[in-house]
Every structure is written in structure tokens, then in C-alpha cells.
């Protein structure tokens, strides 16, 4: 799973990217590296992993991960080739969801490309570039469709009508995500690789003063962003990238002390990763043993053989059954043997829909 971080220059994207991809590594005690300067992995915070590690004392602990891409270079006019222009837009096409960082902090030393802090205008600037890019794609689709409709008939005609309807929607400045249509039409649209169909979290980057004042929910800038997000069915999250960057430098004890002094309980990053995970409809199941305790990412609703396939294709191909216990049940019993005794370890077959927090041992034969 891949998330793209977008936003105007100097809003805090790179600061956030750096802490996400290094703080995740620290908190999970897991060696991540930055894959490329702008691509990195973050561990999905999951207290269940530590609890299982306590139980199994494994040689290795592996959390679930999300990949983040810092997509720099988006400015007004990008769809027409300004800044990194289209290269940047093709980067977004590859991600599963978008983290849109919005500058809410005032700082005269840090230039705002548009001259002032104005979240609504900034969001519109970025969103319009994405919309323009989508319109260009649709234009080509409509053009091709118009040529082939006579030969291909009704299916093509329906698709063409859908594309035209969506085009008009985009033209009025709205994102593809909010286009009212039937479920089968939505499925069709989702195959067109548009930018504005992707789920978005608006991350509002506040100053330390505002962030720690304790009433961020009522801050005018936050309310502005929340209203925009609500109209687009998107999530929002307030952060202070500066604080997060400082927190990331500290070890666990210092961290608690520092956050305590600021009067906040935890940083916003864990929340951001968790929300991203939720937003993408992702859950984790767990495997636990002496060699390794590990979380595996699957989409909600996935059945046992496909979930097993995440570990190895052989597990899916030769799937026999899944020996499953809910994490909470396992913890309540204290260990696997006790859970078995109490009949809480179930033997599930091919049709079993894996649940978040299932601790699973797959039986397979190839």
C-alpha cells in the first residue's frame, strides 16, 4: 500500500515524510530504510505485536508497513507543465491514497508560495491541478470513445455517457470522488486511474502554539478544512510537523516527558498512519512463533486462502485450513495451549473471512 504526500511547497511535506518514515522505524524497533530520497516505509503502530512478542520472545518482530511517497513540485499550473508538472502528476497516479498537507502555521521566515496562509485557497489550487489532469485524461477517453462508439455499440455508448457526465462534473470544479452515480458506474470510473477518485486525508500543519493550545478543533483554519473535507467525504487530521520532528529525535522516556510538558499525550503521526490504514479499508492479522511475530496487511473482507497468500503463494495454493484465535482471547487465556483447552482456537476453512487481530497458523500442502 502506497500513500502519496502532496501539498504546495513549504507546507511541511518533507518534514512530515521524514518523521513518518524514521519515527515509524524507531517506534517499531525495526530497520527501515528510505528506499529512494522521496520513498520510505512506516510501521503501522500495533500494540498487539508487542504483547505477542512478550509471549513468544521471538527472534524477529515485523510490523505491518505502509509506503509513503513525498511528492514535491506541485504548484499552480502543474497540469500545464509548471514546476515538475506532469512528472509529479504521474507520481500521484501510482498511489492508493493521498495525504494532502495544508499549511496552517504562520511563519514570516518561511515563504508561502502564494504569499499568505489561506487553507481554502491552497486546497483549491492543488485540487484544481488534479482536476485539470483528470479532465485531460477524460478528454482523450471521450475522443477515443466517440470514434469507436458506432462499431462497439451500447456498452461503449454507456461508457461514453458516463465519461461525459463526469467531465461536466469536473468542469464545475468538483472532484471525481463526489460524482453521483450507480455502483457499477463507480466501479467503471475506478478503472480509469483518475487522481481525484483517490481517498484523501487533509493533514493540517499547525504551529506549535496553536497545536498545544488545546482547542485546535475550534481553530478557524481547521474548521475551514473540515468543511471542505466533509463536502468531499474526506478525513482531516491536525498535526504539528515541527513537534513531530522534535519528538522523533528523542528516546522513549524523553519523549513522554517532552509531550507531557507540551500538555499533549501522543504525537499525531501514529494517528495519521492508523487513519490511513482505516481509510484504505485495511486490517492486520498476526502470526506468532519463536522465529517471528509479525503483522500482515490485508483488505477487510479477505478470505483465509488469499490472506495466507500474503505470506507465500504456496500457502494459498495448498491451503488446507487456518487455525485461528482472536488476539483478545489468546491474551485472556495467557498462551496458546490454554486457548486451545478452552476451545477458542478454531479450525477455519476456505470460506472464512479473516478478522482484524486474528492470530493464525496456516496448514497447507503443496
Min CB(123)–ligand GDP separation in Å:
14
Min CB(185)–ligand GDP separation in Å:
36
Min CB(5)–ligand GDP separation in Å:
8
Min CB(13)–ligand GDP separation in Å:
3
What phi and psi, each to the nearest 5 degrees, are found at residue 217?
A: -60, -30
**Contacting positions for ligand GDP (CB under 6 A):** 7, 9-15, 105, 107, 110, 205, 207, 240-242
Min CB(205)–ligand GDP separation in Å:
5
**CA–CA dist 136, 339 (Å, integer):** 58
Q: Grid coordinates 476456505 are at which residue? A: 350
Closest CB to ligand GDP among 34 and 306? 34
Closest CB to ligand GDP among 7 and 305? 7
Give, to the nearest 10 degrees, the angle between helix 252-262 and helix 241-248. 150
Closest CB to ligand GDP among 13 and 169? 13
Closest CB to ligand GDP among 22 and 205? 205
Tell me the β-bridge partners of 325: 359
Closest CB to ligand GDP among 14 and 86? 14
**CA–CA dist 108, 8 (Å, integer):** 16
Closest CB to ligand GDP among 63 and 119? 119
Cell of residue 117, nine digits: 496562509
Min CB(153)–ligand GDP separation in Å:
49
> How far is it between the farthest Cα atoms of the chain?
70
Cell of residue 230, nine digits: 466533509
Closest CB to ligand GDP among 10 and 190? 10
358-364: strand order across its sheet = 60-62, 292-299, 282-288, 358-364, 319-326, 346-348
H/E/C letters for each residue in 59-81?
CEEECCEEEEEECCCCCCCHHHC
Nearest Cα residue to 266 out of 207, 211, 221, 209: 211
For residue 48, the surrounding DSSP H or E stretch is helix 47-56
Min CB(104)–ligand GDP separation in Å:
8
Amino acid at each position: 500500500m502506497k500513500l502519496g504526500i502532496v501539498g504546495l511547497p513549504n507546507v511541511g511535506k518533507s518534514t512530515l515524510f521524514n518523521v513518518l518514515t524514521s519515527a515509524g522505524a524507531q517506534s517499531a524497533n525495526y530497520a527501515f530504510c528510505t528506499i529512494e530520497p522521496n520513498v520510505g516505509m512506516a510501521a503501522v503502530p500495533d500494540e498487539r505485536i508487542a504483547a505477542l512478542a512478550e509471549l513468544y520472545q521471538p527472534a524477529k518482530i515485523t510490523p505491518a508497513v505502509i509506503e509513503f511517497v513525498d511528492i514535491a513540485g506541485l504548484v499552480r499550473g502543474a497540469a500545464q507543465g509548471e514546476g515538475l508538472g506532469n512528472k509529479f502528476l504521474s507520481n500521484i497516479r501510482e498511489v492508493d491514497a493521498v495525504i494532502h498537507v495544508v499549511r496552517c502555521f504562520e511563519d514570516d521566515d518561511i515563504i508561502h508560495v502564494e504569499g499568505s496562509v489561506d487553507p481554502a485557497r491552497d486546497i483549491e489550487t492543488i485540487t484544481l491541478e488534479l482536476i485539470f489532469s483528470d479532465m485531460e485524461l477524460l478528454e482523450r477517453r471521450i475522443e477515443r470513445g466517440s470514434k469507436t462508439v458506432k462499431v462497439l455499440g451500447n456498452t461503449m455508448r454507456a461508457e461514453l455517457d458516463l465519461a461525459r457526465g463526469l467531465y461536466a462534473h469536473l468542469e464545475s470544479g468538483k472532484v471525481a470522488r463526489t460524482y453521483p452515480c450507480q455502483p457499477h458506474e463507480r466501479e467503471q470510473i475506478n478503472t480509469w486511474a483518475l487522481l481525484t477518485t483517490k481517498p484523501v486525508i487533509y493533514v493540517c500543519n499547525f504551529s506549535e502554539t496553536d497545536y498545544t493550545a488545546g482547542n485546535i478543533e475550534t481553530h478557524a483554519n481547521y474548521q475551514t478544512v473540515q468543511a471542505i473535507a466533509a463536502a468531499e467525504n474526506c478525513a482531516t487530521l491536525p498535526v504539528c510537523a515541527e513537534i513531530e520532528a522534535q519528538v522523533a529525535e528523542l528516546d522513549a522516556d524523553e519523549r513522554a516527558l517532552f509531550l507531557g510538558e507540551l500538555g499533549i499525550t501522543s504525537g499525531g503521526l501514529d494517528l495519521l498512519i492508523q487513519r490511513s490504514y482505516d481509510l484504505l479499508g485495511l486490517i492486520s492479522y498476526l502470526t506468532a512463533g519463536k522465529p517471528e511475530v509479525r503483522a500482515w496487511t490485508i483488505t477487510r473482507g479477505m478470505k483465509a486462502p488469499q490472506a495466507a497468500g500474503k505470506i507465500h503463494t504456496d500457502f494459498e495454493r495448498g491451503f488446507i485450513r487456518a487455525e485461528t484465535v482472536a488476539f483478545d482471547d489468546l491474551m485472556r487465556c495467557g498462551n496458546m495451549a490454554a486457548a486451545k483447552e478452552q476451545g477458542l482456537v478454531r479450525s477455519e476453512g476456505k470460506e472464512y473471512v479473516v478478522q482484524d487481530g486474528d492470530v493464525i497458523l496456516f496448514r497447507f500442502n503443496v
